[in-house]
Amino acid sequence: MAEKTPILQLKGISKRFGGVVALNDVNMELRKGEVLGIVGDNGAGKSTLIKIISGVYQKDSGEIYLKGQKVEIDNPKDAMMLGIETVYQDLALVDSLDLPLNIFLGREIRYKGAMGSVFGFLNFREMRQNSIKLLQKLKVDVKDLRTQVRYLSGGQRQIIPFARVIYWSKKIIVLDEPTSALGVKESRSVLNVIKRLKEYGFSIIIISHNLQHIFSVVDRIMVLRRGEKVGVVKAHETTADEVVSMITGAGTIEKL
């Protein structure tokens, strides 16, 4: 069960792009071990909010706290150093590389000593062994890790960023439309992985237009409309119709 003390807290977050207000005085709390769903229509500010959390955008005003300590996230490296990992819709995969090299893309494991520091030799064996452990943890079967990811199914490709964030994340995982463009079977597989991540103690933020998927994995749902937070509801205490009414402006409810 999630703790009440927020692991991540946003206070008064605002962001403008020229004359367009993308976010206006938005507050958010993510509790330890919970899955928080963020929903809203196109242009509601969902992507802007997670890009501020992940360091892609910089807030114009407001404060960010991690475990009660004020932090500054000025770029993606800052977010990663704080233990925040993000999976975007495009997955950031290199089709011509195999699965282990995609998991460790940009943070490849090198041999210790001069072999790695001077000559830059990669430790393919260690990356392959770690990849096997990660896939076993996620209960995902890939027969040949040497297969280029271009030949993997959509569901298998989707799992790669999850394995990546499990390896690198210390606290928080942000998921941007993780079931987008997936079939029913593959979506179910991804949702099962999200449930396992919660079991392993990760705190997760998920953005999705699919309310059925949101309700199947989240603890609370935060609704944004036109750059403002209009309500937060517990998933087990509300309905899809109630959430839709908040998205469209027919209702404003706060159930913390």
Side chain identity at 161, as an amino acid letter?
P
- Residue 67's domain is classified under what CATH number? 3.40.50.300
pLDDT confidence of residue 178: 86
Domain-located, residue 178:
no
Count of domains for the chain: 1
Once rounded to an integer, what is the mean pLDDT over residues 219-231?
95
Are the C-beta atoms of residues 50 and 74 closer than 8 Å to each other? no
Which tens digit of pLDDT belongs to each residue from 118-140? Answer: 778 899 999 999 998 888 888 77
> For the chain, what is the total number of helices (H) and then of strands (E)?
9, 10
Least confident of 18-22, 30-34, 54-58, 84-88: 84-88
Q: Given CA atoms 234, 238, 240, 245 in this order, what sign does their dihedral have?
A: negative
Domain-located, residue 117:
no
Domain-located, residue 212:
yes
Domain-located, residue 115:
no
Q: 87-90 — which CB contacts under 8 Å span 24+ positions?
A: 87/161, 87/162, 87/164, 87/165, 87/173, 87/174, 87/175, 87/176, 87/178, 88/176, 89/176, 89/177, 89/180
**Residue of higher predicted confidence among 144 and 172:** 172
Which tens digit of pLDDT belongs to each residue from 202-211? Answer: 999 999 999 9
Side chain identity at 93, as an amino acid letter?
L
Task: Indicate whether 253 pLDDT > 60.
Answer: no
Task: Indicate whether 182 pLDDT > 80.
Answer: no
Domain-located, residue 180:
no
Full-prediction pTM beyond 0.95? no
Return the structure tokens found at 233.
């509801």
pLDDT band at 252 (very low <50, low <70, confident <90, very high): low
Cβ neighbours of residue 83 closer than 8 Å, sequence gap 6 or more = 169, 170, 171, 172
pLDDT confidence of residue 1: 42
In which element (H, E) is residue 9 found? strand 6-17
Average per-residue pLDDT for the chain: 89
Task: Indicate whether 255 pLDDT > 60.
Answer: no
Domain-located, residue 63:
yes
Pairwise CA distance, residues 206 & 78, whole Å: 20
pLDDT confidence of residue 2: 45
Once rounded to an integer, what is the mean pLDDT over residues 77-89?
89
Cβ neighbours of residue 106 closer than 8 Å, sequence gap 6 or more = none
Percent of the chain predicted with pLDDT > 90: 59
Pairwise CA distance, residues 251 & 229, whole Å: 12
pLDDT band at 60 (very low <50, low <70, confident <90, very high): very high
Domain-located, residue 107:
no
Range of the domain at 49: 1-83+207-256
SS3 205: strand
Task: Indicate whether 174 pLDDT > 90.
Answer: yes
Domain-located, residue 27:
yes
